[in-house]
């Protein structure tokens, strides 16, 4: 069943790395004609990915609903070999398509003016509620220094970034782990930190974690951090990671105000 999955842990998957993207951006800056052609190609590529995702999602949703109806009307199917695995695989494909769509759209921002302080507080509350709902013993704290002022950016996408970081932290800690989300304003930047005392990231893989489709989890798509980075960079900001195995990890997002 797992052969179906296109996500791999290895570096064999021939995707564009951040180094390639940086090289391409440099080439585009150096040569205006190349810039125009590459921009068109990129736009074309985005449209194609969106269309493919859309075309696959429709029949997949039908298959998924049919299987759920079958399961409801004939609960005995659950006893069949591979039934559960098939349901999980379908779910995985649905979430892969969702992640692929958000990755594909992560550089296109829909701006509005909002309170980033409130956004971070809302995310913290939803995360705390989700921990509570699952009966989790993870200790979660959040600290937002008041007075951050108005922020112009894509509210939904920034929320997505914070949720990605918190989800990763949650997946990295054990039952009695600790996670914290903090934010403050320093002059013309907002600095957001997501820290956990989880498994940490080994030094030999830390340089790869922002590359698309790089995952070290059984059910990961490896698109969380790459789309988060794209979203933050589209806001003119940066995202960095510091980690020590067995001690924990801290992701720092810096956004210009």
Ligand X SMILES: Nc1ncnc2c1ncn2[C@@H]1O[C@H](COP(=O)(O)OP(=O)(O)OP(=O)(O)O)[C@@H](O)[C@H]1O
119 binds, among Mg ion, ligand X, none (CB under 5 to 8 A by kind): none
Sheet bearing 189-196, strands edge to edge: 139-144, 178-186, 189-196, 248-256, 238-244
State the nearest-atom distance from the C-beta of 71 to Mg ion, in Å. Answer: 28
CA distances (Å), origin 147, targets 184, 190, 257: 9, 11, 13
State the nearest-atom distance from the C-beta of 172 to Mg ion, in Å. Answer: 10
Q: Where are the alpha helices (DSSP H) in the chain?
A: 18-30, 32-73, 83-104, 116-133, 155-172, 224-234
Q: State whether the Cα torsion 131-136-222-84 is positive or negative.
A: negative
Q: State whether the Cα torsion 23-25-29-34 is positive or negative.
A: positive
State the nearest-atom distance from the C-beta of 231 to Mg ion, in Å. Answer: 14
**Alpha carbon distance 35, 74 (integer Å):** 57
237 binds, among Mg ion, ligand X, none (CB under 5 to 8 A by kind): none
256 binds, among ligand X, Mg ion, none (CB under 5 to 8 A by kind): none
State the nearest-atom distance from the C-beta of 245 to ligand X, in Å. Answer: 9
Residue ranges that bind Mg ion, judged by CB under 5 A:
168, 224
173 binds, among ligand X, Mg ion, none (CB under 5 to 8 A by kind): none
State the nearest-atom distance from the C-beta of 172 to ligand X, in Å. Answer: 3
Beta carbons within 8 Å of 202's beta carbon, 6+ residues apart: 245
Q: Which residues pair with 193 in a beta bridge?
A: 182, 252
190 binds, among ligand X, Mg ion, none (CB under 5 to 8 A by kind): none
Residue ranges that bind ligand X, judged by CB under 6 A:
99, 164, 168-169, 172, 196, 198-201, 209, 214-217, 220-226, 249
Q: How far is CA 196 from the centre of its chain?
A: 17
């Amino acid at each position: 069943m797992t052969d179906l999955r296109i996500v791999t842990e290895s570096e064999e998957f021939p995707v564009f790395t951040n180094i390639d993207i940086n090289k391409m951006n440099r080439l585009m800056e150096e040569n205006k004609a190349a810039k125009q052609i590459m921009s068109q190609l990129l736009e074309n590529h985005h449209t194609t990915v969106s269309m493919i995702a859309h075309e696959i999602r429709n029949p997949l949703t039908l298959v998924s609903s049919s299987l759920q109806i079958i399961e409801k009307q004939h609960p005995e199917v659950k006893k069949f070999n591979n039934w559960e695995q098939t349901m999980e695989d379908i779910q995985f494909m649905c979430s892969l398509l969702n992640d692929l769509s958000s990755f594909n759209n992560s550089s296109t921002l829909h701006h509005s003016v909002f309170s980033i302080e409130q956004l971070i507080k809302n995310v913290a509350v939803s995360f705390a509620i989700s921990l509570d709902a699952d009966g989790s013993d993870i200790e979660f704290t959040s600290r937002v220094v008041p007075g951050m002022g108005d922020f112009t950016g894509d509210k939904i996408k920034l929320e997505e970034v914070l949720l990605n970081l918190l989800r990763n932290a949650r997946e990295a800690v054990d039952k009695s782990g600790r996670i914290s989300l903090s934010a403050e304003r320093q002059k013309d930047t907002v600095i957001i930190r997501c820290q956990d005392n989880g498994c940490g990231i080994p030094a030999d893989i830390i340089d790869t974690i922002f590359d698309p489709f790089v995952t070290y989890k059984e059910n990961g798509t490896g698109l969380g951090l790459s789309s988060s980075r794209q979203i933050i960079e589209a806001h003119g900001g940066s995202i960095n990671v510091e980690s020590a195995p067995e001690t924990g990890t801290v992701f720092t997002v810096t956004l210009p105000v």
